[in-house]
């Protein structure tokens, strides 16, 4: 009899605990945010990623009736900001605006990090996406990626490309292109996107996988665009084919931004933030502001963004390992 009573008591206790846990979960979402929210950005102020964070901060602040503040923590290849967020309280009041490529690359290049690039974070929302663009100097006799590859094969070790630095996304995109096509390009790293673009404009190198800052030079006839690096054509430059269309199937290197939170953040809080961001991305004014930064809105569920982030971490770890990339 006593055993039966004890079992019944355990069942009642378990049921009550489940109800309390559900109530806590629901209340955590309904009461969020209960104080100002910080979005940590691992880059200096003024860049396109920083701008996308500020657009998100403005719109979510209006909806939540709480300040949403952007705090820049650049340095050490984004690892300072990532470590800060990973160790923050998992209540949704400290968020991380990151680029999946930079997040993945830093995880592969920096040793003994205090966090794991995937398991230390909860994926919240993708914000925006943009292509890189394969551009050549007009003196280069290539009008497509396929012709560029053929030129490289005909002149092994002679075709040069500029990047914004070793381990940066354009460098890894070029290494991925070389790997998929069985070619060899000569890497000429610069300290930043602008110096690399200046070198290409001056014919000091043959080509570059550049960001959208190259578009005005393409339209002015100073550079020739061969392809965009995303799986689909970009609405920003719909006339430019993709690398995959140009004979390199499977090539997909998007520049993106997204929001992460510390691991353990309640799922209902994550869902509330995701819904707010996706509503903001549907506003025409937000689309126009992102377009001005070279981005397109790219809403996604937390699960979709989490899967994308994990795949980026795996992809760039492989590229870095095979290319033997080291920190400058």
Domain of 285, CATH number, reads 3.40.190.150
- Domain membership of residue 16 (yes or no) is no
Same domain, 98 and 179: no
Domain boundary residue, one of 166, 194, 228 = 228
**Domain membership of residue 137 as a residue range:** 133-228
- Domain membership of residue 1 (yes or no) is no
Place of tokens 């920003």: 236
Same domain, 105 and 125: yes
Same domain, 137 and 202: yes
Token pair belonging to 130: 């943009």
- Domain membership of residue 234 (yes or no) is no
Same domain, 45 and 123: yes
Same domain, 279 and 303: yes
- Domain membership of residue 54 (yes or no) is yes
Under 8 Å between Cβ of 244 and 138: no
Same domain, 99 and 52: yes
- Domain membership of residue 328 (yes or no) is no
End-to-end CA distance of the chain: 73
Q: String of b and e for 77-98 (b: at least 16 CB within 10 Å)?
A: bbbebbbbbbebebbbbbbbbb
Same domain, 145 and 286: no
Domain boundary residue, one of 228, 243, 268 = 228
- Judged on CB neighbours under 10 Å (0-12, 13-18, 19+), 257 is buried
Same domain, 148 and 197: yes
Domain boundary residue, one of 228, 262, 297 = 228
Same domain, 314 and 178: no
- Domain membership of residue 117 (yes or no) is yes
Beta-ladder partners of 40: 71, 96
- Domain membership of residue 74 (yes or no) is yes
Token pair belonging to 208: 């570059």
Same domain, 260 and 285: yes
Same domain, 50 and 92: yes
CATH number at residue 224: 3.40.190.10
pTM passes above 0.85: no
Alpha helices (H) in 169-301, listed in sequence order: 169-181, 193-201, 215-219, 267-281, 284-292
- Domain membership of residue 26 (yes or no) is no
Same domain, 120 and 138: no
Per-residue pLDDT of the chain (328 residues; tens, 9 = 90+): 454 444 444 444 444 444 444 444 444 568 899 999 999 999 888 878 889 999 999 999 999 999 999 999 998 889 999 999 999 999 999 999 999 998 999 999 898 999 999 999 999 999 999 899 999 999 999 999 999 999 999 988 899 999 988 888 889 899 999 999 999 999 999 888 889 999 999 999 999 999 888 889 999 999 999 999 999 999 889 999 999 999 999 899 988 999 999 999 999 999 999 999 999 999 999 999 999 888 999 999 999 999 999 999 999 898 888 878 777 5
Under 8 Å between Cβ of 271 and 29: yes
User: In Å, how far are 139, 152, 169 from 204, measured between CA atoms?
Assistant: 11, 17, 21
- Domains in the chain, number: 2
Q: Which residue, among 198, 153, 199, 196, has the nearest Cα to 177 in the 3D structure?
A: 153
Token pair belonging to 284: 């025409």
User: In Å, how far are 52, 218, 274 from 129, measured between CA atoms?
Assistant: 10, 20, 16
């Amino acid at each position: 009899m006593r055993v039966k009573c004890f079992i019944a008591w355990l069942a009642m206790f378990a049921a009550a605990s489940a109800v309390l846990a559900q109530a806590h979960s629901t209340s955590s979402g309904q009461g969020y945010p209960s104080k100002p929210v910080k979005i940590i950005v691992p880059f200096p102020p003024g860049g396109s990623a920083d701008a996308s964070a500020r657009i998100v901060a403005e719109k979510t602040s209006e909806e939540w009736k709480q300040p949403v503040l952007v705090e820049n923590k650049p340095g050490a290849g984004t690892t300072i900001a990532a470590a800060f967020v990973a160790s923050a309280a998992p209540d949704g009041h400290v968020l991380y605006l990151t680029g999946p490529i930079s997040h993945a690359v830093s995880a592969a290049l920096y040793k003994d990090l205090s966090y794991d690039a995937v398991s230390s974070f909860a994926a919240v929302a993708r914000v925006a996406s943009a292509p890189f663009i394969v551009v050549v100097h007009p003196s280069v006799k290539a009008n497509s990626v396929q012709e560029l590859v053929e030129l490289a094969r005909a002149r092994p070790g002679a075709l040069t490309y500029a990047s914004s630095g070793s381990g940066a996304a354009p460098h890894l995109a070029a290494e991925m292109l070389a790997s998929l096509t069985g070619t060899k390009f000569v890497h000429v790293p610069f300290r930043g996107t602008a110096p690399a673009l200046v070198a290409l404009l001056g014919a000091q190198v043959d080509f570059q996988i550049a960001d959208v800052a190259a578009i005005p030079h393409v339209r002015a006839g100073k550079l020739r665009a061969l392809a965009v690096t995303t799986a689909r054509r970009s609405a920003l430059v719909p006339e430019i084919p993709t690398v995959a269309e140009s004979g390199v199937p499977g090539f997909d290197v998007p520049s993106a931004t997204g929001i992460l939170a510390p691991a353990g953040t309640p799922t209902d809080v994550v869902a509330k933030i995701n819904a707010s961001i996706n509503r903001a991305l549907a506003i025409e004014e937000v689309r126009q502001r992102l377009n001005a930064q070279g981005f397109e809105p790219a809403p996604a569920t937390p699960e979709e963004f989490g899967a994308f982030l994990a795949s980026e971490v795996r992809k760039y770890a492989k590229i870095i390992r095979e290319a033997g990339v080291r920190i400058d």
